[in-house]
């Protein structure tokens, strides 16, 4: 991980790289907490933080020089500028999609250092997972699937979305996830057409769809899955939409293999519904890479042409969302292989009527 970055620096003639993105800091250094920045040079590695985290950083990153910027400079940017000057760095890469103008101005107080904007460098390394990362992602998906078995026993008329969402989070922690909160979507009835609906005080009613889009973090690695169930007997329309959704997911998963692209998967999903009345209700974003962050490259939709690579982990989540009526989403998280994929989510996709 650090070596990948150094190889990149060498190719680009950079003698330093400043890392600010939270997940990139973790990926490169192994540091798991907050408010830390890395300055990587060809021969040394610095982790800049403040006294709340120095002990934590020392323990997790023994190969790094841990530095406390507080008291030494007015802000992290000026501290990093001083450090770059002290190390004699001439050209330092930084993540230009993240830095504020103020932060950039602070970096530029280094008189002899040029700061070179880069985009997506570490994100590209992160998109292909190592065996250790895959193992953690599998565990995160297993925890979420076990929590599904528990939450469906709690879904009944009268219980509110908020209460169910809170129980779902509790179950995942009890099943072994990290405690870091994750914004679970748990919505019911007509509210299930809200793609990113927030759990409300609405009580579940007979005949509702209940859509659960959720996941957890395990040793920093994320799961993201969705299942939609019916409270009571599904209506004919609910069954029709659910079955179409099942077919869309299956069509997508057939295309999930190395060399195919997000556009190809999207086209497979829409082929299922293009001649039905539900075509206008699909959404074009049908999946995303996932790892230390929930939405990372590669993304899937009509404009995503980049071929998948072996050992990328990607969600598959076409959906049908009918405003005022409701929606159905099923979301899996799959591991890309040469000739197909492995679904890491074991929870059933059959229609559940509770």
Name the site residues for Mn ion (rule: CB under 5 A). 224, 315
Q: Rounded to the nearest whole angstrom, what is the least distance from the CB of residue 94 to ligand GLY in the complex?
A: 28
For β-strands 91-95 and 114-118, DSSP reports them as: parallel
Q: Rounded to the nearest whole angstrom, what is the least distance from the CB of residue 303 to ligand GLY in the complex?
A: 17
Residues 6 or more apart whose CB falls under 8 angstroms from that of 39 comprise: 16, 17, 18, 19, 45, 46, 48, 80, 83, 84, 87, 92
Question: In terms of CB distance, is 95 or 296 closer to Mn ion?
Answer: 296
Determine the angle formed by the axes of helices 161-174 and 131-151, rounding to 10 degrees.
Answer: 130
By CB atoms closer than 10 A (0-12, 13-18, 19+), residue 132 is exposed
Question: In terms of CB distance, is 49 or 192 closer to ligand GLY?
Answer: 192
From ligand GLY, Mn ion, none, interface partner of 49 (C-beta below 5 to 8 A by class): none
From ligand GLY, Mn ion, none, interface partner of 226 (C-beta below 5 to 8 A by class): ligand GLY
Alpha-carbon torsion, ordered 270, 274, 276, 279, to 10 deg: 60
**Closest residue to ligand GLY using C-beta atoms:** 213
From Mn ion, ligand GLY, none, interface partner of 60 (C-beta below 5 to 8 A by class): none
Q: Rounded to the nearest whole angstrom, what is the least distance from the CB of residue 290 to ligand GLY in the complex?
A: 8
Footprint on this chain of ligand GLY (rule: CB under 6 A): 213, 224, 226, 288, 317, 331
The closest of 344, 350, 333, 336 to 142, measured between CA atoms, is: 344
Question: In terms of CB distance, is 60 or 224 closer to ligand GLY?
Answer: 224
Question: In terms of CB distance, is 60 or 213 closer to ligand GLY?
Answer: 213
Question: In terms of CB distance, is 16 or 215 closer to ligand GLY?
Answer: 215
Q: Rounded to the nearest whole angstrom, what is the least distance from the CB of residue 206 to ligand GLY in the complex?
A: 27
Question: In terms of CB distance, is 175 or 224 closer to ligand GLY?
Answer: 224
Residues 6 or more apart whose CB falls under 8 angstroms from that of 249 comprise: 269, 316, 317, 318, 330, 332, 349
Q: Rounded to the nearest whole angstrom, what is the least distance from the CB of residue 140 to Mn ion in the complex?
A: 13
From ligand GLY, Mn ion, none, interface partner of 178 (C-beta below 5 to 8 A by class): none
Put residue 34 in one of left, alpha, beta given phi > 0 → left and psi -120 to 50 → alpha: beta
Q: Rounded to the nearest whole angstrom, what is the least distance from the CB of residue 51 to ligand GLY in the complex?
A: 36
With beta carbons less than 8 A apart as the criterion, state whether 295 and 204 touch.
no
Q: Rounded to the nearest whole angstrom, what is the least distance from the CB of residue 295 to ligand GLY in the complex?
A: 6
Question: In terms of CB distance, is 46 or 214 closer to Mn ion?
Answer: 214
297 vs 279: CA distance, rounded Å: 26
């Amino acid at each position: 991980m650090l070596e990948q970055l150094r190889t990149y620096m060498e190719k680009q003639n950079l003698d330093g790289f400043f890392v600010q993105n939270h997940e990139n800091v973790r990926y490169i250094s192994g540091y798991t907490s907050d408010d830390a920045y890395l300055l990587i040079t060809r021969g040394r590695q610095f982790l800049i933080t403040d006294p709340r985290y120095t002990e934590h950083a020392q323990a997790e990153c023994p190969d790094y020089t841990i530095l406390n910027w507080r008291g030494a400079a007015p802000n992290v940017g000026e501290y990093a500028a001083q450090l770059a000057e002290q190390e004699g760095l001439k050209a330092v890469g930084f993540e230009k999609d993240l830095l504020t103008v103020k932060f950039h101005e602070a970096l530029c107080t280094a008189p002899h250092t040029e700061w070179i904007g880069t985009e997506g460098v570490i994100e590209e390394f992160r998109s292909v997972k190592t065996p250790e990362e895959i193992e953690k992602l599998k565990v995160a998906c297993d925890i979420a699937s076990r929590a599904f078995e528990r939450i469906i026993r709690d879904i009944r008329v009268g219980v509110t979305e908020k209460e169910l969402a809170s129980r779902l989070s509790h179950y995942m922690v009890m099943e072994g996830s990290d405690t870091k909160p994750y914004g679970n979507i748990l919505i019911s009835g007509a509210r299930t057409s809200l793609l990113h609906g927030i759990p409300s005080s609405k009580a579940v009613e007979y005949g509702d769809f209940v859509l659960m889009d959720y996941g957890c973090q395990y040793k920093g690695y994320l799961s993201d899955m969705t299942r939609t169930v019916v409270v009571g007997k599904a209506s004919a329309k609910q069954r029709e939409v659910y079955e179409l959704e099942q077919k869309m997911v299956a069509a997508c998963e057939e295309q999930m293999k190395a060399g195919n692209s997000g556009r190809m998967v999207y086209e497979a999903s829409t082929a299922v519904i293009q001649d039905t009345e539900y075509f206008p209700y699909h959404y074009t974003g049908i999946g995303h890479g996932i790892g230390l962050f929930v939405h990372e490259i590669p993304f899937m939709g009509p404009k995503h042409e980049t071929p998948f690579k072996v050992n990328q982990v990607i969600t598959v989540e076409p959906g049908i969302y009918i405003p005022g009526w409701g929606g159905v989403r099923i979301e899996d998280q799959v591991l890309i292989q040469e000739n197909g994929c492995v679904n890491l989510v074991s929870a059933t996709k059959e229609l559940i009527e509770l």
